[in-house]
């Protein structure tokens, strides 16, 4: 069961957290989809794909651990930060030196990835239309400490869900949606967009969110702790979030494959620039 800690001093904080029981997912696909599109967070507690989950009970790897470095888990990015992201096969090889165990772990990870992809397909598929998703999921198996309160800055549409596989809770700061954050500094944001346009440049969603992120970390926020096997779906370009602490987590991420067809009304809400249009005009 996830635990929510309300912050009395938050200003605004329009994010809604929608709890869905795992057995009710297929009953509430419309509610899940619409709330996801609106930038809310859908919490599915104790989500357990049908497989042996004991394989996930391995100790997390320490930062700068040799095994992690060998597996390519922690390559410093251009700013010198260590990126704690890895694919299933990298993680499996880093965790278990025994081949059978690492194969089993990799298989379990891929199976979970497919399960969550199916969940998203059930939300966005239109009968008789083609829809396929490509996985760009990562597994983060090193402890994470406090990061800033932010919106993600991808430049494309990625469907996202997070799954805590650690026995330790994963804590997030939450409370605001990007639609609300835009309003907090609308004048400056409009000026930023206008100055970009006047110099002949277009503004992409990454730049908009980078601008918003310059003032989000000063805001009060709630705290939520996700427990082992809690799965939460949220579009992290719309949902402001801060990792306060946590251990092992799967960050499921899916991109639409070419030829995928979704309803125009849905596409417009999914596409970040279309979604925020109403708030910046
Ligand atoms: Fe993030």
Residue 263 CA to ligand 1 center (angstroms) comes to: 27
Report pLDDT for 172.
Answer: 97
Residue 120 CA to ligand 1 center (angstroms) comes to: 20
Residue 198 CA to ligand 1 center (angstroms) comes to: 30
Place 202 in a pLDDT band, splitting at 50, 70 and 90.
Answer: confident
Report pLDDT for 220.
Answer: 97
Q: Of 105, 107, 82, 75, which Cα lies nearest the Cα of 93? A: 105
Residue 243 CA to ligand 1 center (angstroms) comes to: 8
2 or 155, which is more confident: 2
Residue 36 CA to ligand 1 center (angstroms) comes to: 16
Taking 70 as the threshold, does the pLDDT of residue 248 lie above it?
A: yes
Report pLDDT for 83.
Answer: 46
**What's the pLDDT tens digit per position in 48-85?**
999 999 999 998 876 555 555 545 555 544 443 444 56
Residue 195 CA to ligand 1 center (angstroms) comes to: 27
Kindly report the pTM of this predicted structure. Answer: 0.92
Place 94 in a pLDDT band, splitting at 50, 70 and 90.
Answer: confident
Report pLDDT for 87.
Answer: 76
Report pLDDT for 279.
Answer: 87
Percent of the chain with pLDDT over 90: 70
Residue 241 CA to ligand 1 center (angstroms) comes to: 6
Q: Which residues contact 194 (CB under 8 A, 6 or more apart)?
A: none
Region 175-188 average pLDDT: 95
Q: How many residues does the chain have?
A: 281
**What's the pLDDT tens digit per position in 1-19?**
799 999 999 999 999 999 9
Residue 213 CA to ligand 1 center (angstroms) comes to: 11
Residue 258 CA to ligand 1 center (angstroms) comes to: 26
Report pLDDT for 9.
Answer: 97
Percent of the chain with pLDDT over 70: 91
Taking 80 as the threshold, does the pLDDT of residue 116 lie above it?
A: yes
Residue 118 CA to ligand 1 center (angstroms) comes to: 23
Going from the N-terminus, what domains does the chain have, and what CATH number goes with each? 3-280 (2.60.120)
Report pLDDT for 75.
Answer: 53
Residue 97 CA to ligand 1 center (angstroms) comes to: 31
**Average pLDDT across the chain, whole number:** 89
Edge-to-edge strand ranges of the sheet holding 170-174: 3-5, 222-226, 170-174, 242-245
Residue 160 CA to ligand 1 center (angstroms) comes to: 11
Place 142 in a pLDDT band, splitting at 50, 70 and 90.
Answer: confident
Residue 78 CA to ligand 1 center (angstroms) comes to: 17
Where is average pLDDT lowest: 19-23, 89-93, 111-115, 205-209? 89-93
Taking 50 as the threshold, does the pLDDT of residue 43 lie above it?
A: yes
Structure-token pair, residue 58: 């391995």
Residue 268 CA to ligand 1 center (angstroms) comes to: 22
Report pLDDT for 217.
Answer: 95
Report pLDDT for 85.
Answer: 63
Q: Which residues contact 103 (CB under 8 A, 6 or more apart)?
A: 92
Residue 4 CA to ligand 1 center (angstroms) comes to: 19
DSSP letter for each residue of the chain = --EEE--TT-S-----EEE--GGGGGGGHHHHHHHHHTT-EEEETT---SS-GGGG--PPPPTT-HHHHHTT---B-TTSPBP--B-HHHHHHHH-SSHHHHHHHHHHHHHHHHHHHHHHHHHH--TTS---EEE--EEE-S-B-----B----SS--EEEEEE-SSS-EEEEE--BHHHHHHHTHHHHHHHHHHHHHTT----HHHHHHHHHHHHTTS--EEEEE-TT-EEE--TTTB-BEEEEB--EEEEEEEEPTT----HHHHHHHSHHHHHHHHH-
Taking 90 as the threshold, does the pLDDT of residue 119 lie above it?
A: yes
């Amino acid at each position: 069961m996830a635990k929510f800690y309300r912050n009395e001093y938050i200003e605004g904080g329009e994010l809604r957290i929608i709890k869905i029981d795992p057995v009710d997912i297929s009953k509430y696909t419309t509610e899940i989809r619409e709330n996801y599109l609106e930038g809310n967070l859908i919490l599915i507690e104790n989500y357990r794909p049908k497989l042996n989950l004991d394989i996930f009970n391995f100790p997390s790897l320490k930062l700068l651990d040799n095994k992690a470095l060998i597996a390519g888990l922690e390559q410093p990015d251009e700013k010198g930060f260590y990126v704690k992201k890895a694919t299933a096969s990298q993680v499996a090889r880093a965790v278990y030196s025994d081949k059978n165990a690492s194969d089993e772990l990799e298989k379990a990870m891929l199976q979970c990835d497919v399960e969550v992809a199916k969940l998203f397909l059930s939300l966005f598929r239109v009968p008789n239309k083609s829809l396929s998703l490509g996985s760009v999921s990562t597994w983060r198996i090193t402890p994470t400490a406090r990061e800033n309160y932010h919106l993600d800055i991808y430049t494309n549409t990625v469907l996202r869900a997070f799954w805590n596989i650690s026995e330790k809770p994963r804590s997030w700061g939450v409370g605001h949606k990007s639609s609300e954050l835009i309003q907090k500094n609308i004048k400056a944001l409009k000026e930023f967009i206008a100055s970009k346009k006047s110099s002949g440049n277009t503004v992409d969603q990454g730049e908009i969110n980078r601008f918003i992120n310059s003032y989000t970390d000063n805001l009060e926020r709630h705290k939520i702790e996700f427990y082992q096997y809690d799965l939460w779906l949220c579009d992290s370009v719309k949902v402001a979030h801060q990792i306060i602490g946590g251990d092992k987590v799967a960050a499921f991420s899916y991109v639409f494959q070419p030829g995928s067809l979704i309803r125009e009304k849905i596409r417009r809400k999914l596409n970040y620039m279309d979604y925020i249009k109403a708030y910046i005009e």
